[in-house]
Structure 1
């Protein structure tokens, strides 16, 4: 018979989990609607967006420029893009008040009159910090499936 080790209950309280879910829903909606400056403002001033398929982007301004290029390309192609995040794990704050999250994310594209196609499947890890009653991404690491 297989013994199963007990896993310590480190689940965040419901309020924290709900806040983080709401943060991600708003953040992804901003990006999907092309509100690049507002989306970039969900990162700390020195925030990092790091993907295993490109070099890391550091700072809001750099993140915004890269995101705007991508949004412009998508608009020019006549594509509607949507992000879906799921399987969210939220680790309660550490001594410095940082919340760590892990989640899966899909990016989908739909051509005018077409059917949605998954364009990316990823695993992401974020470090979030509290800021003026909300949350900001200090560091985001995105690993694209099929690339490692």
Structure 2
């Protein structure tokens, strides 16, 4: 059966809903320790009020080479990424990501961030079974 969306759990390759968090003022050393402990390479970054303000990944941590990871803050390497509604069309969202020059989007439901979607999630979904034609009109909130 071809995929009809990207709303799924981390185990089947769609929208990852159980993404860990890191505060924007955490040091890169603290983030690295947390990432290893959580075994999760993508973390939401939260601001002072606890709202999600971006994402930070293992790749972002790698870009901070040469700096002092004990004093450099997550806020200096985090990325602000597009936000999409969970009911958004899957290919429109992929087009949005390409146009924004990013491979990651925050997925929202009723104004709250509920997950993260990445290019690798799309690649996995296409591998699981399906073609671009099979995805036409797919919504992020539909099941596979």
Q: Same fold judged by TM-score > 0.5? A: no
TM range (shorter): under 0.3
Q: What is the TM-score of this pair, normalised by structure 1?
A: 0.26
- Greater percentage in strand: 1
Q: What is the TM-score of this pair, normalised by structure 2?
A: 0.27
